[in-house]
Amino acid sequence: MPFLELTVRCSETEQPRVERALEDVGALSVTMQDAHLDDADEQAIFEPGVGETPLWQEMVLAALFPGDADALLLLATLEAFDPGLDWSGASFRKVDDQDWERVWMDQYEPLRFGERTWIVPWNRDLPAEASSDEAAIVRLDPGLAFGSGTHPTTSLCLQWLDALAVEGTLQDTTVLDFGCGSGILALAALKLGAAQAVGIDNDPQALLATRDNAGRNAVGDRLDVFAPADDPRGTYPVVIANILASALDALADTLADRTAPGGRIALSGILDGQEEDLLRRFRPWFDRLHVARQGDWVRIDGVRR
């Protein structure tokens, strides 16, 4: 069955009102995207920070309605529902029904990070280069949670984990993945030699996806997941937080407290230009702070005092 898609541009402050109006007039789903995002760079959607929902200053909301919905009637209903909003820029198009997740997965190729780490869709064959006994292979089905390895923020963390494995730091450790998304980083750490991993995320769908991916990779007994309110606390020799710069800033004390003395930390989800403030924020607790870059994104890593 085809759908009718309505797209409208709005500001961050207007977003809750626009989304509420769309839902109240019968939208089947509402999604958000950065209004300044290039179509060719659709992977640059931010991962949600733990305990927050990141929004852009300007965004495009896309709402799906039944295919037989009347566009003019919808507009009139929206204008009546909230006359203070400007719906004049709204546009409509017909969208064919399809298995969107499967279409995305069919386009996703196996990816290599560092020397040993491979992220491979569950429905794809292993490439020949990943057939060695040394390869750390994560079979992934991201489901509805963001985190596939294609985005530079995730790629930077996977490269860091791979390097830790090469130097022997990961072996038999316990890893904390703060803001785990699909669980990709925790899974990679386990495949690279970690004994246990803990994933924390504020999105229940992310926790489900992480559990599912852990089972798919036969490490379900070594990976525990929690909502932030259920965080078991404790310290960890390896901590990864791939969230947002604002969340990293707000959670600096928490992340420092979770990192064991002498432990290693990686902070990602940082745009180029945001790193200096975060370096100052984390410097009271961490030595050997190092900045790595990939495109417009930055990873900070260091060692807990």
Residues in binding site for S-adenosyl-L-methionine? 154, 179, 201, 242
Phi then psi dihedrals of residue 251, to 5 deg = -100, 10
- What is the number of residues in the chain? 305
Q: Token digits for 5?
A: 């898609």
Contacts 24+ apart (CB under 8 A), 288-297: 292/156, 292/159, 292/160, 294/152, 294/155, 294/156, 295/152, 296/152, 296/271, 296/272, 297/151, 297/152, 297/153, 297/156, 297/268, 297/269, 297/270, 297/271, 297/272
Q: Token digits for 174?
A: 């316990």
Q: Token digits for 74?
A: 């919808």
* Crossing angle (nearest 10°) for helices 184-191 and 204-216: 30
SS3 helix, strand, coil % of the chain, rounded to 5? Answer: 30, 30, 35
Beta bridge partners of 4: 65, 94
Hunting for tokens 């190729």 — which residue is that?
A: 109
28 DSSP 8-state letter: S
* Crossing angle (nearest 10°) for helices 184-191 and 152-167: 20
Binding-site members are: 154, 179, 201, 242
Residue type, 224: D
Query: Which one, of 47, 45, 56, 44, lies nearest residue 9 by Cα?
Result: 56
Distance, CA of 204 to CA of 164 (rounded, Å)? 29
